[in-house]
Structure 1
Amino acid sequence: MNQLRLDTRPLYMLVIDRIKDQSANGEWPPGTRLPSEFELAKLFGVSRATLREALRVLEEEGVVVRRHGIGTFIAERSVVQAGIEQLFSVTEWIERANRIPGTIGLTATEGEASPEDLERFGLNTPEPFWFITRIRTADGDPVVYCEDRIPQSVLPSGLNEFSGSIFTDLERVGRTIAYAETAIKPIAGHEIVFPALGVREGDALLLLEQMHFDSNGCPVLLSANYFRTDTFHFHVLRRRP
């Protein structure tokens, strides 16, 4: 620790560098559970407050993952940092993180919409919907579980040429998405989604429920996307009125 004190930078920054170095040199490879805060503070010769600030920054950067009641781990996946005020498709979010998007477990079926769905889309008479379920991957890792509902009148050409990005398919038929109304919810458990994404007990997912509107203000797509919180970190820019 004496070597750290020769550096004039704040101590928490030096601890950050040491943890990154020990991960990079293989001493703490991805998935490693780090020693307790007490042990780490003693190892680096810093206070618990300094160590916690270093861990906070590392978590924001996606270097470590802290699981409540379990411990702190070196992240196994690179993190997708995304501004939630910007409306991107899941494909675009993954590509902007310089990772390769993919799709597994795709199911696309035709069925009748529920009364709730008809009301949300402003439809007065029943009509068939497309129901799409899939898992989006980043560099082959399952990171988002997606459930999408689209009235067939919005996408009358069907899903035979489904490209993987619903945004692109809607653009193809002249229904480009302009904005979305979004509800954000933490999810502590889900009997289907957690196993599908390989999420461990004690972790959580972030659910974004979104109604998407085209340039004419018409609802065209209702989606429920479950994001791995160890892979996606969302942030928002807030300004005073």
Structure 2
Amino acid sequence: MLVIDRIKEMSGSGEWPPGTRLPSEFELAKMFGVSRATLREALRVLEEEGAVVRRHGIGTFIAERSLVQAGIEQLFSVTEWIERAGRKPGTIGFTVGEELTTQEDQESFGFSVPVELYLIHRIRTANGDPVVYCEDRVPKSILPRGLHGFDGSLFEHLEAAGRSIAYARTVIKPIAWHPEVFPALDVKDGQALLLLEQMHYDASDSPVLLSANYFRTDTFHFHVLRRRPKE
């Protein structure tokens, strides 16, 4: 479609750099010589592709380039990922609860009986934009001082408690819908999230943190280096 190609061309050439607010629908339709209906369909396609971002009541913007493009074999905290991309990490929607482990939690941590754990929900932001929804479970016994002094990076808080993260076992899932997470991250219809379910271990191979992190795919791009096995 002509409109899609032209907007991508103007974005790629630097005429409309990432973050640029596009002219109104009326002005764009006049600029490209198309009907408003044709223009809206083009913007819908571009939004699904992640090329533009439409903010209700504000306007349509050229999407920022991917925040992170990293090998998923590298274990960084969300805070570190955001900082490495040159953005300012933040947290909103921070809640902490205390509950007993479920049967599934007990199997994950290797407990034979229910134990108390912290259940932490957070929305992580990059320069103020919500980009990751985090759900973390930590046994209370691992944090004897609780979450006193916790300022955003759970990895750093665990390290201060003497339980540094050494590695994690990760399951990766595409998520087409979640009634709580999608609205929290302002995910549009037709877009998906990438869920990383991870059990984190310390240097003694003890499980210390069970996390479920939902990443916006228009912001985080992960890749994996794969090699042919040696015969």
TM-score under structure 2 length normalisation? 0.77
Kindly indicate whether residue 213 of structure 2 is the aligned counterpart of residue 213 of structure 1.
no
User: CA deviation digits over 1:37-84, x for unaligned, max 9?
Assistant: xx9xxxxxxxxxxxxxxxxxxxxxxxx96626xx95374234222211
5 Å-filtered alignment, 1:63-82, equals 67=48, 73=52, 75-80=62-67, 81-82=69-70
Q: Within the alignment, does 1:239 sit opposite 2:227 as a pair?
A: yes
Between stretches 120-129 and 18-27, larger displacement belongs to: 18-27
Deviation at 1:131, TM superposition (A): 0.3
Which stretch of structure 1 is more off in the superposition, 76-85 or 87-96?
76-85
Give the CA RMSD over aligned residues: 2.9
Distance 2:192 2:127 in 1: 21
Q: Alignment length, in residue pairs?
A: 197
Partner SS state of residue 149, structure 2: coil
Mean alpha-carbon deviation: is it higher for 216-225 or for 71-80?
71-80
- Going from structure 1 to structure 2, the CA distance change for 1:20 and 1:116 (only over 3 Å counts) comes to same
Of 8, 11, 16 in structure 2, the residue corresponding to residue 23 of structure 1 is 16
4+ residue segments displaced more than 6 Å: 25-28
The answer to whether the Cα contact below 8 Å between 2:96 and 2:119 also exists between their aligned partners in 1 is yes
Offset, 1:162:
1.1
In structure 1, the gaps of 5 or more residues are 1-14, 40-63
List gaps (5 residues or longer) in structure 2: 1-6, 33-44, 53-60
Q: Distance in 1 between matches of 2:16 and 2:224?
A: 29
Matched, 1:130 2:115: no
Q: CA deviation at 1:149?
A: 0.3
- Supply the distance in 2 between the matched residues of 1:99 and 1:25 (Cα, whole angstroms): 15
Match of 1:172 in 2: 160
Amino acid of the residue matched to residue 76 of structure 1?
A: A
Q: How far apart in 2 are the matches of 1:130 and 1:151?
A: 6
Percent identity, please.
59
- Post-superposition shift, 1:116? 1.0
1:144 corresponds, among 126, 132, 146, to 132
What does residue 223 of structure 1 align with?
211
TM-superposed deviation, 1:17: 6.6
Residue type of the alignment partner of 2:48: R
- Contact 2:18–2:65 (CA under 8 A) maintained in structure 1: no
**Superimposed CA distance per residue, residues 147-171 of structure 1 (whole angstroms, 9 cap, x where no aligned partner):** 0000111112101221211100110
Cα distance change on mapping 1:96 and 1:25 into 2, 3 Å:
closer
Task: State whether structure 2 residue 93 is matched by structure 1 residue 93.
Answer: no
Distance 1:72 1:24 in 2: 11
1:5-84 counterparts in 2 under 5 A? 19-21=11-13, 22-24=15-17, 29=22, 67=48, 73=52, 75-80=62-67, 81-84=69-72
Q: What is the TM-score with the length of structure 1 in the denominator?
A: 0.74
The structure-2 alpha-carbon separation of the partners of 1:125 and 1:238, relative to structure 1 and needing over 3 Å to count, comes to same
